[in-house]
Structure 1
């Protein structure tokens, strides 16, 4: 907003510390191309609006604030003459988006010297060319450093995820390969056994009944109950005794397979009644191959389903087939992240999921939220590992005061010391050993949660109980993109 135009005195603005070294000619140019404006208490400019002016306070009182979620957070309040704000990066031109990085208001009648952004850029370049080059180098160098280190942070996370996913995929894939080799062997033996049975003294009716038993056997395998070790052992002993009593050799080798398939003595009695004692051993052997092939096919099915589940989790984590912005189920995002990081979490850290499944879906950028979860889980795992390697990671979701969704990562590590708690979200600050951390994980997480989702990221910590809490708004309004330039 514009203030009241007032006279501009070169002598007065020359008394401000920002201009005290300028010549009379330079001060005269500022007054001719700039202006003095008076403002009553209220707003001067708003964060995010085009940065059109550079403001230097002559007298009065100003308050600078930043928007965090639904709140305006005060970042500075001063009555010091000469303080400045506004289009401070105008000298960078259109290489960065020229918007106000904060909001400014005055709390009492205040006078500003106001310089149009284009004039400010021109006098900076003309009067202080070396300083402008240094400032440009500092700005873009810092930006490039953040980008390079941020990329390395993502690559480090990708390495951990790839290792975990490879480990998780290897187990079911190897199981499927082993089961397939065993299945080929069992089918070959089954064909041989079928040929032997066909040449034996079976009547057509007995063969038909045996095939019917085979079909029912396959159905029972699919519905086999889960037994305790003690129950399984008792059944194996009973089946072994029955097979030995009926002349079936090496019954002790067949019994565990039959028990695993959910078969019992009643089933064996039905087989014996159908085929007779003379050919019972051959019939039982053939049905054993049937059971083994069914079990092996179930194992292959489970292994391939596990692989498919892992691939789905990887797609859910990466969001490769999804729109960047969408309304997502935060629990699916958390589950996919925990699964992707399971290799790094290991077996010594217990993971507890305390989810409130009644929570609504949240609007946002799921792939970037997964990056936040990854950073927070990685920090929790590192904290627990540094304290001996054993502990508990609890991931909790809940509704926070009705309007926001809480995602909390709680670990039993040593905690964050009070003296560094205010610095952990600073860029490049890390407590990890050299080479193990970039110090950008929490900085990136902060930017994603606070700047991009208008949420809150905070930490509560004491030894044995550290909680990183992410609060996300439940509104469906799309968050504004993060400005490309660095905040002042």
Structure 2
């Protein structure tokens, strides 16, 4: 870049829309404090560098770009005289970091009016004190509103997840309580029945055999096959007929228990061969109580495993007991989020997991990534429900060069083309009033792009909407935490 100083012309400045309303004295001060320069094709300044000057274009072509996921992405290209870039927030002083928030380059030899940041800040405060106060109020008011609403949204999301978790935990907990109460009754019956059997004269020789039959019965359980209601009823009839033929009372109570435990006529035949006929009925009742006790223990085990799984998913989702920045398995994060949101997703939405399990662990902030997954899944579910029916949510992972792709695809009505470009704008939402803050996608974009150096994109046509997250496999490292709304 070869600078070319040139005399500043007041009337030429007035030709630019930025300065057309200024007085002759104000234009003279601009010319005194600023300068006119020709810049050769190439970079003018880099994103993140200290903001030293305000650049206003006289002629030429400028390109503004931002760094997204380690790559420079062009966001604007123009040749319109009067466009400006650079230190345009210098009037805020040290209230905000004074760095360039984008990169500027010229694609041809271009001519600028260049005003040092300090001079621009002083001129703004001298000439437009009321405007500066209004701009400060607008800037910080908007920022504070974002933070307040964002905090509210996070609390609402946490409350929603907590309510769903409580609901999900209540079902297995209630099942465990019911099964425990029933188990206590069955164990009391087992003790009573065995005591009665042992008290009968000349039955001591069979007690060892009963214990062996009990072990055999427990070992044969658990080989259950899925039966339709009709098949189960037929099997109960078969067992009931066998017990009626052998003089066993209460067969209608015992048969369903044996069917549930996958015990059939062959098991009954083995019991009958091992015991005297007059002992068969009481022995079957005793063994039936043992079978019920084992079934109840299985039910309690299933319920407690379900509770343990939900608690594990909650820990994975919140990451409360883990380091903020760590190498994470993206599939573990996705599964924990889907489990936490399962009640909200509901039975009329089919979830398809299309995972590439060869993907490596990725460095990042797992709790924040879970917040992104929650926002994107919530949007997809709402979109599909807005049609009055269900749909399919497909969560897909793939390797995409040096990045990991996580895609959320729904079969909802799609995002209209006229609002698609505004999807990631703060406070923009297509949901009805009271159902969305418009910050979910904005927060998600900040987490993915600013915190993880990744990329978040939207592709949508009716029946096929896709939010695509790309995260670097080898990022430069954890950045300085940013304030996220």
Query: How high is the TM-score relative to the length of structure 2?
Result: 0.91
Which residue of the partner structure matches residue 402 of structure 2? 403
Q: Pick closer, same or farther for the CA change 1:146–1:464 going to 2, 3 Å.
A: same
Q: Between 363-372 and 452-461, report the one with greater CA deviation.
A: 452-461
Alpha-carbon distance between aligned partners in 2 of 1:166 and 1:484, rounded to the nearest angstrom: 31
Which residue of the partner structure matches residue 437 of structure 1? 436
Which residue of the partner structure matches residue 467 of structure 1? 466
SS state at 2:277 partner: coil
SS state at 1:389 partner: coil
Q: Between 77-86 and 22-31, report the one with greater CA deviation.
A: 22-31
Alpha-carbon distance between aligned partners in 2 of 1:252 and 1:130, rounded to the nearest angstrom: 89
Indicate if the aligned counterparts of 2:325 and 2:478 stay in contact, CA closer than 8 A: no
Q: CA deviation at 1:36?
A: 4.7
Indicate if the aligned counterparts of 1:454 and 1:479 stay in contact, CA closer than 8 A: no
Q: Pick closer, same or farther for the CA change 1:5–1:417 going to 2, 3 Å.
A: closer
Alpha-carbon distance between aligned partners in 2 of 1:237 and 1:93, rounded to the nearest angstrom: 87
Alpha-carbon distance between aligned partners in 1 of 2:369 and 2:163, rounded to the nearest angstrom: 21
Q: Does 1:415 align with 2:414?
A: yes
Q: Deviations over 1:152-189 (max 9, x none)?
A: 32233233323322221111111001001101111122
Q: Deviations over 1:295-325 (max 9, x none)?
A: 1111101101001101111111112122222
Indicate if the aligned counterparts of 1:96 and 1:485 stay in contact, CA closer than 8 A: no
Which residue of the partner structure matches residue 245 of structure 1? 245
Indicate if the aligned counterparts of 1:6 and 1:35 stay in contact, CA closer than 8 A: yes
Map 1:162-311 → 2, pairs under 5 A: 162-221=162-221, 223-229=222-228, 231-311=231-311
Indicate if the aligned counterparts of 1:210 and 1:271 stay in contact, CA closer than 8 A: no
Alpha-carbon distance between aligned partners in 2 of 1:485 and 1:412, rounded to the nearest angstrom: 30
Q: CA deviation at 1:18?
A: 3.7
Which residue of the partner structure matches residue 476 of structure 2? 477
Map 1:317-336 → 2, pairs under 5 A: 317-336=317-336
Indicate if the aligned counterparts of 2:4 and 2:39 stay in contact, CA closer than 8 A: no
Q: CA deviation at 1:59?
A: 4.4
Q: Pick closer, same or farther for the CA change 1:339–1:216 going to 2, 3 Å.
A: same
Alpha-carbon distance between aligned partners in 2 of 1:24 and 1:432, rounded to the nearest angstrom: 51
Q: CA deviation at 1:231?
A: 4.8
Alpha-carbon distance between aligned partners in 2 of 1:483 and 1:140, rounded to the nearest angstrom: 16
Map 1:95-106 → 2, pairs under 5 A: 95-106=95-106
Q: Which runs of 5+ in 1 are unaligned?
A: none
Q: CA deviation at 1:377?
A: 1.6
The number of residue pairs the alignment matches comes to 483
Indicate if the aligned counterparts of 2:56 and 2:114 stay in contact, CA closer than 8 A: yes
Alpha-carbon distance between aligned partners in 2 of 1:23 and 1:334, rounded to the nearest angstrom: 60
Alpha-carbon distance between aligned partners in 1 of 2:301 and 2:18, rounded to the nearest angstrom: 74
Query: How high is the TM-score relative to the length of structure 1?
Result: 0.90
Alpha-carbon distance between aligned partners in 2 of 1:485 and 1:476, rounded to the nearest angstrom: 20
Indicate if the aligned counterparts of 1:353 and 1:396 stay in contact, CA closer than 8 A: yes
Q: CA deviation at 1:22?
A: 5.1
Indicate if the aligned counterparts of 2:459 and 2:466 stay in contact, CA closer than 8 A: yes
Alpha-carbon distance between aligned partners in 2 of 1:7 and 1:191, rounded to the nearest angstrom: 106
Q: CA deviation at 1:29?
A: 5.2
Q: CA deviation at 1:390?
A: 2.4
Q: CA deviation at 1:332?
A: 1.5
Which residue of the partner structure matches residue 345 of structure 2? 345
Q: CA deviation at 1:46?
A: 0.5
Q: Between 139-148 and 450-459, report the one with greater CA deviation.
A: 450-459
